[in-house]
Structure 1
Amino acid sequence: MLPLITREQLRKEIAANAVVVIDTMPADYYAREHLPGAVNIPGFPYEEAARFTEELAPRLLPDPGVPLVVYCANVPCRNSELVGARLVELGYANVRKYREGIEDWVSGELPTESAAA
């Protein structure tokens, strides 16, 4: 299991530009709404999560030492755990999980972006 980060910790790290945030929702969900500055590595369908991560991570995350936070929709969602675990296997040293996901972020009335932004 990945180390966890709270909404408030993540909000502060995003504001300080101290983390790369990874939205693990399917691309169409990412396009509609994602956390500020997030990049997209889909973790669904589950059986494709490892392949998506292997293909996209080198381009989107060239520095394996940068602090990363993965998230998906909510606590039951498995996308972020699958992508995060594969990132660790690929050598990314500092991967945390925002377990509560975008539903929690939005419920806290924090800003989001869309692909059109």
Structure 2
Amino acid sequence: MKTVTTERLKTLKAENKDFLLVNTLDAKHFAQTRIPDSINIPLSQGGFTDKVLNTAGSKQKLVVVYCASDDCDSSTKAAKELDDAGFNVADYEGGAAAWKASGEPLAV
């Protein structure tokens, strides 16, 4: 399974690449872990892959999933589910905690 580092995610965002950044946590945790330009599609709710497909528009579009930190396995499970369904997916290593630790702000 592909992974994305903080530096790679910064590059994707800086170059305005066409990709979908998905926070896989429940809505109540999304507010505290929201990376700018990300959307919330909770893994715990039904129809996760269908919701991602409807939002991305294609399985070929890069989907980067993330959660709170390395201690959270939500994005890893989501990446596996999407990978098994044939998506172009990568798991952002470190999640929101790594993003914040790199000096980048979380959205409020």
Question: TM-score of the superposition, structure 2-length normalised?
Answer: 0.85
- State the one-letter code of the partner of 2:49: E
Distance 2:92 2:59 in 1: 19
Q: CA deviation at 1:33?
A: 3.9
Secondary structure at 1:4 match in 2: strand
Report matched runs for 1:1-117 at 5 Å: 2-18=1-17, 19-44=19-44, 48=45, 51-92=46-87, 94-114=88-108
User: Which whole-Å CA distance do the structure 1 matches of 2:32 and 2:70 have between them?
Assistant: 20
Distance 2:33 2:9 in 1: 17
Task: Give the counterpart letter for 1:87 in structure 2.
Answer: L
SS of the equivalent of 2:65 reads strand
Q: How many residues are treated as equivalent by the alignment?
A: 107
**Where does structure 2 lack aligned partners over 5 or more consecutive residues?**
none
Aligned partners of 1:41 and 1:82: how far apart in 2? 13
Which letter does structure 2 place at the counterpart of 1:38?
A: S
Q: Compare the two structures and name the one with the higher strand fraction.
A: 2
In structure 1, runs of 5+ residues without a counterpart are none
Structure-2 separation of matches of 1:52 and 1:82: 14
Instruction: Provide the C-alpha distance between the structure 2 equivalents of 1:5 and 1:57, rounded to a whole number of angstroms.
Output: 18
Give the ranges of 4+ consecutive aligned residues of structure 1 lying more than 2 Å apart after TM superposition. none
**What percent identity do the matched residue pairs reach?**
25
**Whole-angstrom distance in 2 between the partners of 1:107 and 1:52:** 32
CA RMSD, aligned part only? 1.7
